[in-house]
Amino acid sequence: MERKGKPEENDPGLGEAGVSRREVLRRAALYGIGLAALPAIASGPGKIGSALAASPEAQPRRGGVIRWYLPDDPPDLDPQMSTISSTQWVLGMCYNGLLRYNVGPGNGPESEAAATPVPDLAERFEQPDPLTYIFHLRSGVKFHDGTPLTAEDVAFSLNRIRTSKAEFQRAYAFTALDTVRATGDRVVTVKLKEPYAAFINQVAAAYTRIAPKHVIEAKGDMKQVIVGTGPFKLQEYRRGQRMVLVRNPDYFERGVPYVDGIDIAIMPDNATQVAAFNSRRIDMLIVANFAQAQTLKSVNPDIVVQEYVEFRMDALGCNTRVKPFDDIQVRQAMWYAIDQQKIIDISFQGRGRKQRSVPPAYAGWVVPFDKLPLSDAPNLDKAKRLLAEAGYPKGFSAKCKSVYRYTQKEATIAAEMLKAIGVNLEIIDVEYGAYLKARNSGDFEVIAFSIAPFGDVEDYTTALYHTRAGRNFGHWGNAELDKLFEQGGREGDVQKRKAIFHKVQAVLAENCWVVDLPRYMTFEAWHPYVRDYVPAQNPEKGLSFWRASLAK
């Protein structure tokens, strides 16, 4: 099959559990005779590292060029419109926000520290009342073109991000804002319409980057240029081939970055990526799956391999304006017919986690799988009974739009499982641009989709299921849920807010607007001469390079 897909947004294309679709179908054929027939995957302590990062190097060596890759060309470079992964990774090396997440040496991707906002362009902020935030900017910060950063740039950027047009995909995160104004040379004041508990988390997220007002006013957007304030700046870009970033000598944090630059190849094919890694033509690799991680370790015993779970949601989204998916019993029947553990065994070689709505990595916020409604799945008898009660005793046929490397393999296995209750779900491979258009416009019966934002629990709940949410692809949600979202958005007490979002997860689990699929484990590898590189959650990956160094 032609590989048409690219990782979007929050769509973490590099981390896909890389088993070919042919192999998935072969393994799925074993479903009827039991998974004991699947080959065992060797495991053992010390072979694959955990998500706890190693201690930082005492004296990082300066100089050298890190060689990395992207799986596809960023479609554009605007930091305030696009949420596409490849774009965000590069821009994370070149831009700053008011705040950022504390990714860095010692703070692994599942650590509490890496999910904690810290100062970036704002050296501090204050909240004099529940509706007001005042940010105080660092002095002496310059954009890559030499222009000083001002409070006007910050106010302009925050107002632009919340533009109510479809291309500004993070506008939903700032609907609670009333005004954003420069109230001094280095002071920005934000007024909210109502208390908004997620505000600081959203300000720290990768997508909330500050761009120069004068460049946007001159060019109309930032789609073809990178002019940030970050530790690296763009020196060369040959579309479809490579991007070259070099150290920003005017970066406000003295001594950072340690390397002279980052040479990024555009490298879509995993086999090419692996060959480049084994020959040391690239220094890091996001590994396709556990088996590949083991193979790499056997070929290169000295490499570092780290395993962790990403903040990500994989699912089959039902369009509730299309019959029979307007019927809760039909959606519940689909849920009961799908065995997440068998998908993990078939597609992920046993290295994955079952999940519902909120990713399992959201410690403290996620309700355990077995504590939610319908947790007795899989149950084919219940599935068949629900379908019969809905008026489909013999099942039905529907089409599921999908894109390669983007939940398609899991959807293929789920479709095989649905046949047991008479549901023929045809998996349609769609060109990436057409797929996004269909998803965003609701032009589908069922869609296999994935998102991986990293900001707040609302990104996996309110942003998808509020009836007025811009990313509510399948017309999901109801008035009861909207009330919970509004309560959770206003609640400032963390424990009370968690309790509200626990109720949200119960409603989502009961209604099955989205039929959840399991999550595979992510593996990253790097050569031992790379020091202080720390994997990060998907959109924050650019931060991983800020303090990396080369010991060669």
Residue 396 CB contacts under 8 Å (≥ 6 apart), including other chains: 324, 330, 422, 423, 424
Mean pLDDT, rounded, of the chain = 89
Query: In this predicted structure, what is the pLDDT of residue 345?
Result: 94
Rounded percentage of the chain residues whose pLDDT exceeds 70: 89
Which range is least confidently modeled, 26-40, 105-119, 330-344? 26-40
pLDDT exceeds 60 at position 203: yes
> Which secondary-structure segment (H or E) carries 495?
helix 494-511
The mean pLDDT value for 77-87 works out to: 88
The mean pLDDT value for 482-509 works out to: 94
Fill in the amino acid letter for 440.
N
The mean pLDDT value for 426-453 works out to: 92
Query: In this predicted structure, what is the pLDDT of residue 198?
Result: 92
Q: Name the E strands within 65-131.
A: 65-70, 99-101, 117-119, 122-129
Query: In this predicted structure, what is the pLDDT of residue 51?
Result: 45
Give me the residue label for tokens 């720290």.
204
pLDDT band at 425 (very low <50, low <70, confident <90, very high): very high
- Do 145 and 227 contact (CB within 8 A), yes or no? yes
The DSSP-derived string for 358-371 is B-TTSTTTSPPGGG
- Six-digit token string for 107: 């703070």
Helix axes 494-511, 479-490, angle to 10 degrees: 160
Query: In this predicted structure, what is the pLDDT of residue 544?
Result: 96
pLDDT band at 169 (very low <50, low <70, confident <90, very high): confident
CA 490 to chain centre: 25
- Pick the residue with more confidence: 344 or 454? 344
Query: In this predicted structure, what is the pLDDT of residue 126?
Result: 97
Query: In this predicted structure, what is the pLDDT of residue 170?
Result: 84
Residue 316 CB contacts under 8 Å (≥ 6 apart), including other chains: 334, 400, 411, 414, 446, 447, 448, 514, 515, 517
Query: In this predicted structure, what is the pLDDT of residue 5?
Result: 34
pLDDT exceeds 50 at position 370: yes
CA dist., res. 428 & res. 408, Å (int): 9
Q: Where are the domains of the chain?
A: 13-38+310-520, 76-223
> Which secondary-structure segment (H or E) carries 127?
strand 122-129
The mean pLDDT value for 139-145 works out to: 98
CA dist., res. 95 & res. 146, Å (int): 14
Q: Are strands 242-247 and 514-517 parallel, antiparallel or unpaired?
A: unpaired
CA dist., res. 196 & res. 132, Å (int): 10
pLDDT band at 25 (very low <50, low <70, confident <90, very high): very low
CA 73 to chain centre: 17
> What is the side-by-side strand order in the sheet with 396-402?
423-429, 396-402, 446-451, 313-318, 514-517
Query: In this predicted structure, what is the pLDDT of residue 52?
Result: 40
Q: Are strands 522-526 and 284-287 parallel, antiparallel or unpaired?
A: antiparallel
How crowded is the C-beta side of 202, counted as CA atoms within 13 Å? 21
CA dist., res. 291 & res. 303, Å (int): 15
- Six-digit token string for 140: 């002496």
Query: In this predicted structure, what is the pLDDT of residue 57?
Result: 58
- Six-digit token string for 192: 């909210």
Give the CA radius of gyration of the chain: 23
CA dist., res. 401 & res. 411, Å (int): 10
Closest by CA position to 467, among listed 454, 478, 480:
478
Query: In this predicted structure, what is the pLDDT of residue 481?
Result: 97
Backbone φ and ψ of 145, nearest 5°: -90, 5
Domain 13-38+310-520 has CATH 3.10.105.10: yes
Residues 37-65: pLDDT tens digits? 332 322 332 345 544 444 555 689 999 99
> 76-223 belongs to which CATH class?
alpha beta
Torsion angle of C-alpha atoms 437, 82, 220, 140, degrees rounded to 10: 170
Helix axes 21-29, 408-418, angle to 10 degrees: 30
- Six-digit token string for 497: 């807010």
CA dist., res. 531 & res. 60, Å (int): 8
Count of Cβ atoms closer than 10 Å to residue 61 Cβ: 14
pLDDT exceeds 70 at position 337: yes
- Pick the residue with more confidence: 400 or 29? 400
Residues 380-402: pLDDT tens digits? 999 999 999 999 999 999 999 99
pLDDT exceeds 60 at position 26: no
pLDDT exceeds 50 at position 24: no
- Do 409 and 380 contact (CB within 8 A), yes or no? no
Query: In this predicted structure, what is the pLDDT of residue 40?
Result: 30
CA dist., res. 148 & res. 431, Å (int): 42
Query: In this predicted structure, what is the pLDDT of residue 405?
Result: 67
Rounded percentage of the chain residues whose pLDDT exceeds 90: 74
Residues 267-310: pLDDT tens digits? 999 999 999 999 999 999 999 889 999 999 999 999 999 999 88
Q: What's 104's DSSP letter?
A: B
Backbone φ and ψ of 286, nearest 5°: -90, 115
Q: What's 391's DSSP letter?
A: T
